[in-house]
Amino acid sequence: MKEIDYVVGIYNFFNPYPEDGDESFYYMLYLLDEKGLLEKEGAVKLFLDRFTSVEAGTKSPVNTIGPFVNLERLNQYAFALCEELNAAQVSLLSVQEYNTLLENSQQATEFHRDLLEKGNVMENIERKKKGFLSRFFS
C-alpha cells in the first residue's frame, strides 16, 4: 500500500436541514493530502461501514461525510481514515480555523506548515513502528 505523509480534514458543525427539524451535527467537508483533494469514495465507504450506527437515519448534504454526533466521534473517524490510508498523521481543522490560517498566512509554505501543525493533530504510531522495524527486516 502506498504511504501518505498526512491527511488534513476540514469539518463544520451545522444543521443542513433546519426546515426538517434536524439537529446540528459535525460534517467532514474536505479531505486533503500532500497532492491536494483526496477522493472521497474510500472515506465515504469507511464512514458507512463503521460510523453510521449512532447517526442512522440522518441525511447528509451532498459532498460531505457524516453526520458525526460529536467531536470525539469525528476524531475517531479521522484516525481510522489515517490508519486505512496508512498516513503518518491526520490534522483536523474546523472551517473557521482553516479560514483564519488562510487569512493570516503570508506565504504558501507557511500556510502548508500551519495546516499540519494547527488543529487537532493525531499521529499514526503504528506506521512509525512498522517503518522502524522494516529497516531491520528488509
Write out pLDDT tens, residues 45-104. Answer: 999 899 876 666 677 888 999 999 999 999 999 999 999 999 999 999 999 999 999 999
43 near 124, Cβ under 8 Å? no
> 31: helix, coil or strand?
strand
> Nearest 10 degrees: CA dihedral of 105, 113, 100, 97?
180
pLDDT per position as a tens digit, 83-96: 999 999 999 999 99
pTM of the model: 0.84
Which residues neighbour 49 within 8 Å (Cβ) at sequence distance 6 or greater?
Answer: none
**Percent of the chain surpassing pLDDT 90:** 56
